[in-house]
Amino acid sequence: MTIKWEALLQVFGATLLVTLVVVTLFVLGIRALSGERKVPAYASFAGCVAVVLYGLSLIVF
Amino acid sequence: MDPALVVIIVVVTALIFDFTNGFHDTANAMATSIATGALKPRTAVALSAVLNLVGAFLSVEVAKTISGGIVDDAKITPAIIFGGLIGAIMWNLVTWYAGLPSSSSHALFGGLIGAAWVASGVDAIHFAKVLDKVIVPAIVAPLVAGIVAALATIIVYRLKKAADARVSHTGFKVGQVASASLVSLAHGTNDAQKTMGIITLALITSGSLAPGSAPPTWVIVSAGVAIALGTYLGGWRITHTLGRGLTTIEPAQGFAAQTSTATAILASSHLGFALSTTHVASGGIMGSGLGRDRHGVRWGTMGKMAAGWLLTLPAAGIVGAIAGKWASSGTAGVIGVAVIGAVVSIGIWILSRREPVKPEHIVDEVAAQAELHKVAA
């Protein structure tokens, strides 16, 4: 009976990394937006979108 | 009975299960967005339905786990699978009626394992695979989503202090809709797969497909459509429990919870873990509740839910075992199981009409809850 702990650890690592990156970028975007700093705000949101699309592309291809 | 006919019955029953899976699980993705008012209930279910359909096409890893490993395809028949599906549908309907966000996936595994065990003996089940791909992920994935959601919530609340309150309120509502959409997509990659896996398994056991085959295109399309239709119908009873029963949810918190839920499910789907999206979503909501306020979680509701989770595998297993044993005895058995299954389903549906939970109820209650907050603040 073998449990693939490595695969479970991958799930944990990927979830932790991706979630914290997306969430942090998003909040920084909102902070920039409240300070009327449009360029950094949109750059942060674009970063979120890029991370999500990259993740999905890993699953599809 | 003509074996081809039994396969057709299994396909239809599997799609019915998929449909119940859809309306049972709408809440996982959309409960928090509906609860915070980021989306109107009808818009939420329509969006979720479309994304479930898209998700169904993204991956077939979980389908392969179901069709190629949990049970021994040489030892079971389509009639046994039929019995297992009836067990799963019964349990899904009972828990839906009670408003319990139990796992459709575990209902399916329970039904299938119970039916195969009783009708073909214990060797028909690959317990090592069940442990590795189902049981362990069932415990780990909600914990992962919960821990990550708690951390994400802490970060969000720390960093958003410096932001303008109005901008951040609107911003997080948008973020919440985006993350809820990802959860729906993730749901399609994990739950629609389960029905595909079951239909593929039935086709393999009847000899129409070679063992180890991936689901044919028509199976992917029909499973995706069935789950999307079920999702669109909306499981308002469960949305009601999950949207406000567990903890009070703010948009920023819903955003953190759902981002971690979606990521955990997508990562697991990719590795073929057939986990319960329900458990992961609940784990995410709990984690973010703890991240925001240690005392903000209703442990009583959580306890009831956890009890429902533990019961799901054995309860669906027992019904599946009885139905599988009877259905595999011949034509009369299959007809008998089908008739009883239909009668019970209609009965539950009639009961649910007497005390309907409609989207309007949820919106009203959320509004009432917001009032309480104003008073407290």
Q: Is residue A49 part of a domain?
A: yes
CA A43 to chain centroid, in Å, comes to 14
Average pLDDT in the B164-193 region? 88
Query: CB A19 to CB B175 under 8 A?
Result: no
Query: CB B263 to CB A24 under 8 A?
Result: no
**Residue-wise pLDDT tens digits, B169-182:** 888 888 988 998 99
pLDDT at residue B358 tops 90 = no
Structural domain range at position A41: 14-60
How many domains are contained in chain A? 1
Tell me which chain A residues have a C-beta less than 8 angstroms from the C-beta of B254.
Answer: none
Beta strands in chain B (DSSP E): none
Q: Which residue of A has its CA nearest to B186?
A: A56
State the Cα angle at A18 between B37 and B32, rounded to 5°: 15
Residue B29 neighbours by CB under 8 Å, 6+ apart: B48, B180, B181, B183, B184, B187, B258, B281
Test mutation, B58, B133, B139, B266, chain A, max A CBs within 10 A: B266
Distance from CA of B127 to the nearest CA of A (A): 8
Q: Which residues pair with B247 in a beta bridge?
A: B297
Of B25-39, B211-225, B241-255, which one has max mean pLDDT? B211-225
User: Helices B277-292 and B251-270, interaxial angle, to 10°?
Assistant: 140
Task: Check CB contact of A10 with chain B, cutoff 8 Å.
Answer: yes
Q: Is residue A51 part of a domain?
A: yes
Q: Smallest Cβ distance to B268: which of A11, A33, A60?
A: A11
Query: CB A23 to CB B137 under 8 A?
Result: no
d(CA B239, CA B232): 13
Q: Is residue A34 part of a domain?
A: yes
Instruction: Quote the pLDDT of residue B145.
Output: 92
**Residue-wise pLDDT tens digits, B30-77:** 877 777 778 888 888 899 999 999 988 888 888 888 887 788 888 888
Q: Is residue A35 part of a domain?
A: yes
Distance from CA of A31 to the nearest CA of B (A): 5
Instruction: Enter the pTM of the model.
Output: 0.84
Q: Which residue of A has its CA nearest to B178?
A: A49
Q: For residue B118, what is the enclosing H or E element?
A: helix B104-120
Task: Check CB contact of B225 with chain A, cutoff 8 Å.
Answer: no
Radius of gyration of chain A, Cα coordinates, nearest whole angstrom: 16
Q: What is the 3-state secondary structure (H, E, C) of B314-348?
A: HHHHHHHHHHHHHHCCCHHHHHHHHHHHHHHHHHH
Query: CB B148 to CB A16 under 8 A?
Result: yes
Q: Smallest Cβ distance to B152: which of A2, A23, A58?
A: A23
Q: Which residue of A has its CA nearest to B268?
A: A11
CB pairs under 8 A between A and B: 110
**Residue-wise pLDDT tens digits, A30-51:** 988 888 888 888 999 999 999 9
Q: Is residue A42 part of a domain?
A: yes
Tell me which chain A residues have a C-beta less than 8 angstroms from the C-beta of B140.
Answer: 8, 11-12
Interface TM-score (ipTM) > 0.85: yes
Residue B41 neighbours by CB under 8 Å, 6+ apart: B30, B34, B234, B236, B239, B359, B362, B363
Q: Is residue A7 part of a domain?
A: no
Among B330, B326, B60, B303, smallest CA distance to B197 is for B60
Q: What is the three-class DSSP state of B165?
A: helix
Q: Is residue A41 part of a domain?
A: yes
Q: Is residue A38 part of a domain?
A: yes
